[in-house]
Copies of this chain bind each other. A is one copy, B any other.
């Protein structure tokens, strides 16, 4: 392994160790010494990569953001209009929160008031929910009489609730609660031509 490869591996290990500690203890309680101890490196080695604790947190948040942004903005095959794409995207999001440590830690950090960061991803997600619902109105997967603003708000409430509940109890991230939500609201939302084709379980599974 070259020196460069070793450095990249150490950086990666530091980010992962920090993600675990931030998730367990929050930003304020986590120390640089604690992170070094987990990885088994000196504080000099840590400072070679990161100036301070905030710099590591930023690295985690940026990586989580870019993963989520990619998930959310990705065009999926339109099985049954934009409404199905919204359902599928919500399932992928929840699966990522469940399975990807960096995503989970990044979302946690962006809600940690001690960090004074903003819930930036949340706003992007809200914008995407709204955009997909507008498209669904166009393509007919969303029924004509339905208020996009009202549905967007309800989808946002449910998904943000899931992120909040999933932080203390990962049972919520199993996917069945997303399915249950969609099953409950779909009959009100589905356009006539799409009612039989929309699948509350999503395509992620």
Contact = CB atoms under 8 A, between A and B. Distances in A.
Interface of A: 25-26, 28-29, 108, 111-114, 118-119, 122, 147, 150-151, 153-154, 156-165, 168, 172, 177, 180-181, 183-185, 187-189
Contacts of A150: 180, 183-184
Given A160-B164, A161-B160, A164-B164, A154 B184 contact: yes
Contact of A28 (B29, B151, B158, B177): B29
A60 to B, nearest CB: 15
A108 B164 CA distance: 12
Contacts of A154: 158, 177, 180-181, 184
Given A150-B184, A180-B150, A114 B28 contact: yes
A184 B188 contact: yes
Max chain B C-beta neighbours (<10 A), residue from A25, A113, A151, A181: A113
A91 to B, nearest CB: 14
A114 B26 contact: yes
8 contacts: A29-B113, A118-B168, A150-B183, A157-B158, A157-B165, A157-B177, A159-B161, A188-B188
Given A28-B28, A113-B112, A177-B153, A185 B185 contact: yes
Contact of A161 (B29, B118, B156): B156
A113 B26 CA distance: 6
